[in-house]
Amino acid sequence: MLTLESLKKQAKLVLKWHQAREWTLAEQIRSLLPRFKEMNDLEIFEASFKLADAQELIARKNGFESWQALKMGLETMQSEPAVPTQPTYLLRATPHLYVADIETACRFYQEKLGFRTLFKYGDPPFYAVVVRDGAFLNLRHVDEPLMDNALREREQYLTANILLSTGQELKRLFSEFEANGAEFLQKLKKQPWGGMDFIVKDPDGNLIDFGAGGLL
């Protein structure tokens, strides 16, 4: 059952997520808070976002127009038989990429794709996380490839999809990667469903699809 205290904690957590630029939060803010609906992810995270904004987001997620309306609604609900609450909102799915050498993989994602290494674990490292904006990739060392790379390329078995807000941002990103010498399985392409995407291949054959628009 929802309680005011639990919702206050949720709002404080949302505020922390905004400060940490948790990428999945941007879509929630854009879809639930009208004044943010025209902003892209970067603009949302650079905008002023206070506890009152976080409280409003929590209220709207639970079907109320404002925090005050939510508090009044809670009083009513607490005096009535319990009803099912809103479904749980999944926050983030982070893909795992399997690589032969953690150091080599980290350098690739830093130098070619503009990620930064959040941390490496082990001596020598066997696990790492790289991040750029809201995109997190887990890197895990394996002694042997888990998939035949020729088959992966032929069938375009993607390892991860990373979405951008607009086609213009996608074009800029493609130009950046191209200038950095990244290897592409597929260069920037307009797809039949209306979106655009391109596919980068890392040194271990992992295929990362960057896309925007359409049904992506």
- Kindly report, residue by residue over 124-157, the tens digit of the pLDDT: 999 999 999 888 999 999 999 899 989 999 999 9
Determine the Cα–Cα distance for residues 206 and 200; give it in Å rounded to an integer. 8
pLDDT mean over 97-117:
97
- One DSSP character per residue, 110-172 reads HHTT--EEEEEEETTEEEEEEEETTEEEEEEE-SS-SS-HHHHHHHT--SEEEE-S-HHHHHH
Task: Please enumerate in sequence order all residues whose Cβ is within 8 A of that of 150, keeping only pairs 6 or more positions apart, or say none.
Answer: none
pLDDT mean over 59-76:
85
Question: Structural domains in the chain?
Answer: 4-78 (no CATH), 96-212 (3.10.180.10)
Amino acid symbol at 37: K
Q: Quick one: how far is CA 104 from the chain centroid?
A: 24
Task: Look at residue 84 and tell me whether its pLDDT is greater than 60.
Answer: no
In sequence order, what E strands does 53-115 have?
96-99
Tell me the average pLDDT of the chain: 88
